[in-house]
Amino acid sequence: MVSALIALGVYTGEGDQAEHDAEAERLGERRYRIRLANALLGAAQIEAMLAEQDVDLGGAHDEQLVTAGVSDDPVKLTGFLQWQTLRVAGPLRLVAQHAGTGPILVAAAHAADGLQRCSASWPPVKCPVWSRSRSTSRRSRPPAGVSST
């Protein structure tokens, strides 16, 4: 993950084993991996967003589903979409709390909540895409070497 963060230009640390060991010790190994994965996800999403501007996407979005291993299985796809919806709904709820956001973002937050509830009821899955359970955590600061911008 660090190599990918470096390639995307968002890793500012040394990237050596001592740095990773220190961060894993400070945060716990699992939490450190979660934070690196989320830093990489954010960087990759921005790259995709910028690359997709003013372009006919054709099957570009399908590539994400193929890479995630969910394109050919409706149950896995539903689990993956539940996870993506959950990631969108949280920030939308936070933004919608600000007085100046207006009704569209409030409606989007409600729609994301509704979509999350609907997709959670069919099929009743816990995202079977991955072989082990994963969780997310709020981060107080980026992992060592990861730029917060």
pLDDT single digits (tens) 36-80: 999 999 999 888 888 888 777 767 778 888 988 999 988 888 888
Given this model, what pLDDT does residue 36 score? 93
- The per-residue pLDDT for range 79-94, each reduced to its tens digit, is 888 888 888 888 888 8
pTM of the model: 0.66
**Residue burial 49-82, b: 16+ Cβ < 10 Å; e: rest:** eeeeeeeeeeeeeeeebeeeebeeeeebbbbbbb
pLDDT value at 34 more than 90 = yes
Residue-by-residue DSSP string for 5-68 = HHHTT-B-S---HHHHHHHHHHH-HHHHHHHHHHHHHHHHHHHHHHHHTTS--TTHHHHHHHHH
